[in-house]
Structure 1
């Protein structure tokens, strides 16, 4: 089980990180946020597709048997390692490539809020929340947690699906 986890965690991490770097380059060179976000999300899905491959490999090595619990264990570890890789790379990118990311993001969100037809009290509340989030994002622990929560739920959902779809009890 360990060798399968090591191999497929590494593959998932490399795929996710490469897509993330490509997404960053695309964003910087073309200033195309929607395409950059789409590419980043696609990288998450492609990277976490390795969970299916890992569970198939384990199932084959285990005489065609894969319990739901074993599927969860293997998939969750791969999802966690892929997610941590993504998060660490974002922390590096944030520090050295996008140090003003949150200020620009918050300003853009506030601009969109101001252009909306929200009730003034609701608008003020939404703007305050965005400003608080921007302030909190300066804390690296907060930023780490927020970034991890962007990707980890996707890995957990794929893990659950793979474990359900591929499970097979012993005869």
Structure 2
């Protein structure tokens, strides 16, 4: 079990990293960055289905309980999320420390283009400054980053467990 979960978790994490890598390298602009990021997370977490089916069919004789299937997904989610967070922290602090400045500029320009009032823009600017302050602390930065990816993995784990659970046939 450990090998499949570890490999699936690492691969899911690397696939998820591709989403923000495309964003921070300007391959994808900020406008589509969230869509690409979450799409890459969902694609990465699809490995939960693959790993669960492999376990169910190869190790559990074709049956698996909801809780066991969910645990497989949870372990993969925790590994993938940790990969995502560690890579983000390294990328943010060593390669793109001005990322939030650029994102803030994009966000405020978007508000202005949408006709937001000066007060709304000022409030948004203050909120973004607060985020920049929080991101200076690696622990808070990591927690915020976990809140991006963990819910996606948990949702996929729940869906996967619900779909793939199979009770043992009584003889």
Aligning the two structures, in what range does the TM-score lie when normalised by the shorter sequence?
0.7 to 0.9
- Does the Cα contact within 8 Å between 1:113 and 1:127 map onto a contact in 2? no
Distance 2:62 2:116 in 1: 57
Of 107-116 and 152-161, deviating more is 107-116
Give RMSD over aligned pairs.
2.4
Distance 1:161 1:95 in 2: 35
Shift of 1:121: 4.7
Distance 2:121 2:31 in 1: 25
- Does the Cα contact within 8 Å between 2:48 and 2:157 map onto a contact in 1? yes
The 5 A counterparts of 1:80-91 are: 80-91=78-89
Moved over 6 A (4+): none
Please give the per-residue CA displacement for 1:26-77, whole angstroms capped at 9, x wherever unaligned.
Answer: 51xx563445554433321221111000110111120111111001111011
1:97 match: 95
Distance 1:65 1:26 in 2: 44
Distance 2:140 2:10 in 1: 26
Shift of 1:120: 5.1
1:4 match: 4
Provide the TM-score with structure 1 as the length reference: 0.83
1:67–1:31 distance in 2 versus 1, CA, 3 Å: closer
The 5 A counterparts of 1:19-168 are: 19-20=18-19, 23=22, 26-27=25-26, 30=27, 32-34=29-31, 37-60=34-57, 61-118=59-116, 121-168=119-166
Please give the per-residue CA displacement for 1:142-166, whole angstroms capped at 9, x wherever unaligned.
Answer: 1111111111111111101100000
- Does the Cα contact within 8 Å between 2:6 and 2:79 map onto a contact in 1? no
Number of positions where the alignment pairs a residue of Structure 1 with one of Structure 2: 168
- Say which SS state the counterpart of residue 64 (structure 2) adopts: coil
Shift of 1:98: 0.9
2:16 match: 16
1:68–1:86 distance in 2 versus 1, CA, 3 Å: same
5+ long unaligned stretches in structure 2? none
- Does the Cα contact within 8 Å between 1:114 and 1:123 map onto a contact in 2? yes
5+ long unaligned stretches in structure 1? none
Provide the TM-score with structure 2 as the length reference: 0.83
